[in-house]
Amino acid sequence: MADHHERRRHFRGKPRPGRVLEIRHRAAGAAWCLATTRNIGVGGAFIEGGADLRTGLELELELRLPGSDLWRPLNAIVRRIEAGPPPGFGVEFIDVEVDVLLELNDYFASLTGSEAE
């Protein structure tokens, strides 16, 4: 689907420090872990915690935008692990629904006054 890849490329953004959102994550079959992002963009995030994770691991993520009670589903791959302090891990979002990408982009634009790059 070339169209899907074009849209994905359009929304691949650079994470910006200071964007803290509530998030939960889990590997397949595991319990949800609550965490917060240290920074996040439409293409990925850096999340605090994650002591038992490894690079290349696929995760289910859900995040909640400020002012909302809804959890937005995301899939991600762990791309890097940092020992800290504080410890954390970087993820790349994969196969994200276009509606979720649009919502994230709109939220980030509201913070900066311009479209997320």
Q: What is the pTM of this model?
A: 0.74
Q: Give me the CATH code for the 2-112 domain, please.
A: 2.40.10.220
Task: Classify the phi-psi angles of 50: left when phi > 0, otherwise alpha if psi is within -120 to 50, otherwise beta.
Answer: left
All structural domains of the chain with their residue ranges: 2-112
| pLDDT band, residue 40 (cuts 50/70/90) | confident
Structure tokens at 111: 């913070």
Mean pLDDT value of segment 34-39: 89
pLDDT of residue 25: 94
DSSP string, the chain: -HHHHHHHHHH----EET---EEEEE-TTSPPEEEEEEEEETTEEEEE--TT--TT-EEEEEEE-TT--PPEEEEEEEEEEE--SSPEEEEEEES--HHHHHHHHHHHHHHHSS---
Please give the mean pLDDT across all residues of the chain.
Answer: 79
Question: Over the stretch 82-93, which tens digit does the pLDDT of each residue have?
Answer: 987 888 999 999
pLDDT of residue 112: 64
